[in-house]
């Protein structure tokens, strides 16, 4: 609750009842989201309608004196809606609000380790999807810096992928399968493929860490195989939930390395999000 005391009263929400995004504002926003360029006119039209519905459903508020502009609100709505463009906004039913800080924010963490020692620290974050039923918190600076998505990262897509994941229970990389859309996905296939890919990726990240920490002078490099660039943000090796969120970011923004390294994950995400970003096409059934 502490968090909410910091929320400024100023918040930008387009017209309360049936928000309509003016065309000039809409196209100014699209110009800042290059990964949407491959969408068809019909998809852009649907994305606009969905973004309008999103804005009427989820309040977006500035915190710590951040004055949220209409443009910032539309940019967040468009990116969040893009993730579920071929699914349904119902996946965001439990998002009560989006809180936007001007830049990275500190979150107090507390953890008890296996020997019972309590560790407390402050962690700087770019975004956080708090928990099932909780708000999404974003740093505007990080939203702006990741809007282009060229490096396969995008903080809005990342946090909303977590929200989808949490829709079933906790974030664990096992999102809900909807009867209307996901009949072709077998839960056991999903769980097996994701846990295998996660293990493989965690090994790659560890191998890379070891590689860079090898003492070259001691000749320690001789046993290290050549290590190529990682196909995903190494943050994905944190746990199964982060792996799903990071794979989702790559899937939408930089799909080729993901498809090359983990074709089964690419295929499952294509069937999940009902989109084929490599071919720049949607699934319409």
Residue 74 CA to residue 125 CA, distance in Å, equals 22
Minimum distance of Zn ion from residue 13's CB (angstroms): 26
Q: Which residue has the tokens 């195989």?
A: 225
Stretch that binds Zn ion, among 67-75, 103-111, 234-242, 265-273 (CB under 5 A): 234-242
Q: 23-30 and 41-57 are packed helices; what angle lies between their axes, rounded to 10 degrees?
A: 110
Minimum distance of Zn ion from residue 171's CB (angstroms): 8
Is residue 36 within 8 A of residue 82, CB to CB? The reply is: yes
Q: Any contact of residue 156 with Zn ion (CB under 5 A)?
A: no
Residue 52 CA to residue 49 CA, distance in Å, equals 5
Stretch that binds Zn ion, among 66-74, 84-92, 212-220, 242-250 (CB under 5 A): 242-250
Q: Any contact of residue 171 with Zn ion (CB under 5 A)?
A: no
Stretch that binds Zn ion, among 26-34, 40-48, 69-77, 245-253 (CB under 5 A): 245-253
Of the candidates 245, 253, 258, 269, which one interacts with Zn ion according to CB under 5 A? Answer: 245
Q: Any contact of residue 95 with Zn ion (CB under 5 A)?
A: no
Strand-pair category, 98-101 with 275-276: unpaired
Minimum distance of Zn ion from residue 12's CB (angstroms): 25
Stretch that binds Zn ion, among 24-32, 177-185, 237-245, 257-265 (CB under 5 A): 237-245
Helices of type H across 58-186: 70-83, 140-145, 155-166
Across the chain, the runs of DSSP E, i.e. the strands, are 60-62, 98-101, 105-112, 118-125, 127-129, 136-139, 275-276, 281-282
Minimum distance of Zn ion from residue 25's CB (angstroms): 29
Q: What is the binding site for Zn ion (CB under 5 A)?
A: 242, 245
């Amino acid at each position: 609750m502490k968090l909410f005391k910091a929320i400024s009263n100023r918040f930008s929400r387009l017209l309360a009842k049936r928000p309509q995004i003016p065309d000039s504002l809409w196209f100014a926003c699209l110009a800042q989201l290059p990964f949407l360029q491959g969408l068809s006119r019909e998809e852009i039209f649907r994305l606009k309608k969905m973004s309008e519905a999103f804005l009427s459903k989820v309040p977006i508020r500035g915190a710590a004196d951040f004055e949220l502009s209409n443009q910032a609100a539309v940019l967040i709505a468009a990116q969040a809606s893009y993730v579920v463009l071929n699914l349904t906004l119902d996946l965001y039913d439990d998002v009560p609000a989006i809180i936007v800080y001007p830049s990275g924010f500190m979150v107090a963490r507390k953890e008890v380790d296996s020997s019972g020692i309590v560790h407390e620290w402050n962690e700087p974050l770019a975004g956080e999807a708090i928990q099932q039923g909780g708000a999404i918190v974003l740093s505007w600076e990080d939203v702006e810096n990741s809007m282009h998505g060229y490096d396969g990262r995008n903080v809005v897509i990342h946090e909303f992928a977590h929200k989808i994941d949490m829709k079933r229970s906790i974030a664990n990389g096992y999102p809900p399968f909807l009867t209307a859309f996901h009949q072709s996905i077998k839960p056991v296939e999903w769980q097996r493929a994701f846990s295998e890919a996660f293990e493989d990726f965690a090994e790659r990240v560890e191998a890379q860490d070891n590689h860079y920490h090898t003492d070259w002078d001691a000749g320690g490099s001789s046993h290290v195989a050549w290590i190529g660039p990682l196909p995903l943000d190494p943050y994905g090796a944190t746990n199964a939930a982060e792996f799903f969120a990071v794979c989702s970011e790559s899937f939408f923004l930089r799909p080729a390395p993901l498809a090359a390294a983990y074709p089964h994950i690419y295929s499952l995400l294509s069937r999940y999000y009902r989109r084929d970003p490599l071919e720049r096409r949607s699934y319409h059934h």
